Structure 1
Amino acid sequence: MIDTTVTGGACPRCGTATVSPLHTVPWCPACEWNLEAYDAERIGPLFGWRWLDRRVHDIGYRMTRRQFDRLLGRPLGATGAGAATIVTAAASGLLFLGVVALAVTGLWLLVAFPFPGPSLLVAVPLLALAVGLRPRFGRLDPHADVLRRDRTPELFALVDEVAQAVGAPAPDVVAVNDELNAYAATVGFRRRRVLCLGLPYWGSLAPQERVALLGHEFGHFVNGDPRRMLLTQPAFTTLGSAADLLRPAPSTAPGFIEMVGTALGWIIQYPLSRLLFALHAVLVCVALRDIQRAEYLADEMSAKAAGTAAATDLLDATLRVESMALAVRREARAGHGPQRWQAAVAESWAANADQLPRLRQLSAREEASLFSSHPPTGLRQLMLDGAKRHEPAVVLTEDRSARIDTELAREYEAVRRTLAW
């Protein structure tokens, strides 16, 4: 194992030796002095101006910590919508009414004046804008493979058990894809519930960690997550779509009139586009506060289903997803399936177990952001530590986990070939 942890001078606050894993800006592991520091080399640019990126990071870190302190120790049943969700829903309602007003005005201009006529010059753009800004309700990923209950009964039985354990409705659709991720979503106007499991991720997890993953994803169906509420959808799409529609496109036409038109477009459209984008960013930042709250609550659902220990192990997996990806890809190229993926990932993690405490702390710096949908992984683990301990409500044995993998053998092989390529 290569130890990349560097110790520096003593902490000016408590005297403990500072640490710098992965050659980051050092901090104190005891009192967390300097943990909030902006590390430009690792966090990367957001807006491109160092002073602005630093300021936005500072604000994001403080807001993330403030939310963590407010939620720490609150009961599991506190799943009601917060103030941010109310603001988001109100803004969504106003935006939706604005789109309806554009459509109604365009139709009125078509009906109230002789056709064809000058009113078309206004009616058609208004109708086109209304169509472009219409609410998007999402759709099923066309690249995901939808599973049938009669072909994968063991997996569906586990899904039903975990959903019942957390008090969530079972998904309407269960699908798999080749990503190192998993998600639960609601799509379409009918708001169908979808669970999608990335097989490289699912296949690398230990059995009880799989239960924790399902518990977390199903928690999003009952934790008031604004992303899955019909009333809040316009807040996430309308202003951003308007900014894109109004952004002037560069003209390649050589004529003088075209050049004048392009210049006027930049003078009028560009400032308006940037204003709409700024409003969109502010609204999304507000909505993300409640989305992060929903992630904490989903973690508690995960602990309720699989036990606190398994939920914590699952969070550790997210800290080391890069090493997981390397191990899975290596084994896939060697022709191995999920059994070997699990073994390779476990070996990699065992060899680097001593780095985990520092990585958990480091996540509070590198994952804190105004524009992140998830709280830092380390804070999520601390939230679980401060909550009531749970024993597993659903236990997945090695044999049953293996039977589920056998059901998915065809999908695993397709994913293995994709990873090998």
Structure 2
Amino acid sequence: MKDDSDVICPRCDAVLTTPDDRFSTWCAACDWNVDPIGPVGIPKDRARELARHERAFRRMAAHGPDASPSGAAVYGALVLATAVNLATAALVATGVWLLITGTLPQRILGAVELLATVMLFPRPARLPKHTVDRATAPALHAIVERISGELGTRPPDLIAFDARYGARWAAVGMRRHRVLVLGLPLWETLAPDQRIALLVRELAHAAAEAGPRSRWIRSALDSLAGWESLLRPDPARSDLVPDAHHAVTGGRQASNIAHVGEMLARPLLGLLAQGAQLLHALLRRLDGRCVGHAYRADRTAARIATAGSAESLLRALLLEEPALLALERLSRGGDDLWEMLRGYLASVPDTERARRLRLSELRGDTSGSGQPPTCLRIRFVQALPRTEPVLTMTGTEARTVDLELAPVRSSIGRECRQRP
């Protein structure tokens, strides 16, 4: 029975839950307004990607995350990666040979080839601003080392924090030191068992990426991404025309010739960049490492920190958008920023959490990264057995870690408040 205070779905006439003014009202029965600002329908490329992830999930559910990809896919990925890496090596070799033995024009060509190969690979990242070493945060590093010992992997050289909502790895400096970068907005809103699950997942994922096959394919992916970036025409220059009023006659002619040459070269460069992009997508699809690594990392997190902790971590990741929007709004206040953020996320209603999960099912949330959507990872963790945790963070350890991170917490909070 309906009364005057009920909210009715305009599409299917279902009675909706009393709305929360902070979030969108939507209908779980027909998905009305589930994505109020998104495009109508799902783009074809996103739909195909989601379908591939669904097929991969069914295979993984049937055979387990340790099952190897098909032989054709494995050999195809290795052959393609080898071809790309050999082409890059050949470019380096011919560049060096032309520099040593060539004429002046050939030496210039060799220098251009070497410069191109240098630009192909990502530059080593700078040391993050908010780092904590073993002397600064011994309790946090001790927990990470315990997890690394359980996994049989090397702990990170440094741990850093930033204002993002998530976690990532960075290779810092010429020696490429491994830095685990944790997003403070996520870390501050997690319970101790969820923090353990986060650390386990990131360390397990990094360990899976450290094998020689993974490094070989990663090198090829980096090369292809570099070629695409190098060859992609600059849209800012697409509308440039020679200045006829302020150029002398000779300069005008040279400018016209350069402009014509650019117009002729732009389609070819765009075609080559598109080819590099397609090869990058093909290699990632053939390899399929990211999918298996993600599920295995989630399984490891469930084993060490319990499946419930792993699942609640994944559900927390679905709240990235509202968390960052709330952080921006709350940073204008004068109270404890992180305490306010924790209170805000704790107050998010179940209807909004369900809407975020439904959005992950409809559109995915990691398009282009190779990672499976969070909704599928939640389904995977839900099917795992419930066991006792292998490692825990005691209350004393949690308080000690919070004290160690107090300067980082104050510094990042101050930066958030100073943003325009």
* Superposed CA RMSD: 3.7
Provide the secondary structure at the position in 1 that maps to 2:159: strand
1:336 maps to 336
Overall identity of the aligned pairs, in %: 25
Maintained 8 Å contact 1:176/1:197: yes
CA distance in 1, matches of 2:326, 2:269: 49
Post-superposition CA distance 1:80-132 (Å, at most 9, x none): 6776566444433322211221122223233334x43x433533333333333
Per the TM alignment, residue 265 of structure 1 is displaced from its structure 2 partner at its CA by: 1.7
Per the TM alignment, residue 379 of structure 1 is displaced from its structure 2 partner at its CA by: 1.3
2:195 maps to 210
- Which region of structure 1 is more displaced relative to structure 2, 150-159 or 330-339? 330-339
Maintained 8 Å contact 2:60/2:67: no
Provide the secondary structure at the position in 2 that maps to 1:420: helix
How many pairs were matched up? Answer: 391
Please state if 1:360 is matched with 2:357.
Answer: yes
Per the TM alignment, residue 43 of structure 1 is displaced from its structure 2 partner at its CA by: 4.8
CA distance in 2, matches of 1:302, 1:397: 17
Distance 1:7 1:377, change over 3 A: farther
Per the TM alignment, residue 69 of structure 1 is displaced from its structure 2 partner at its CA by: 0.8
Q: 1:128-277, aligned counterparts within 5 Å? A: 128-133=115-120, 135-136=121-122, 139-185=124-170, 192-224=177-209, 229-249=214-234, 250=237, 251-254=240-243, 255=252, 256-277=256-277
CA distance in 1, matches of 2:9, 2:315: 22
Distance 1:209 1:369, change over 3 A: closer
Provide the secondary structure at the position in 1 that maps to 2:57: helix
Question: What letter is aligned with 1:382?
Answer: R
Q: 1:15-414, aligned counterparts within 5 Å? A: 22=24, 43-44=38-39, 54-72=43-61, 74-75=63-64, 78=66, 87-113=76-102, 115-116=103-104, 118-120=105-107, 122-133=109-120, 135-136=121-122, 139-185=124-170, 192-224=177-209, 229-249=214-234, 250=237, 251-254=240-243, 255=252, 256-287=256-287, 289-329=288-328, 332=331, 333-336=333-336, 338-339=338-339, 341-346=341-346, 348-349=347-348, 352-367=349-364, 371-414=368-411
Per the TM alignment, residue 234 of structure 1 is displaced from its structure 2 partner at its CA by: 2.8
TM-score (norm 2): 0.79
CA distance in 2, matches of 1:188, 1:72: 40
Per the TM alignment, residue 368 of structure 1 is displaced from its structure 2 partner at its CA by: 6.2
Per the TM alignment, residue 242 of structure 1 is displaced from its structure 2 partner at its CA by: 2.0
- Which residues of structure 2 form unaligned runs of 5+? 1-5, 18-22, 244-251
TM-score (norm 1): 0.79
Per the TM alignment, residue 415 of structure 1 is displaced from its structure 2 partner at its CA by: 0.8
- Which residues of structure 1 form unaligned runs of 5+? 11-15, 30-34
Distance 1:224 1:124, change over 3 A: closer
Provide the secondary structure at the position in 2 that maps to 1:221: helix
CA distance in 1, matches of 2:129, 2:74: 30
CA distance in 2, matches of 1:42, 1:228: 41
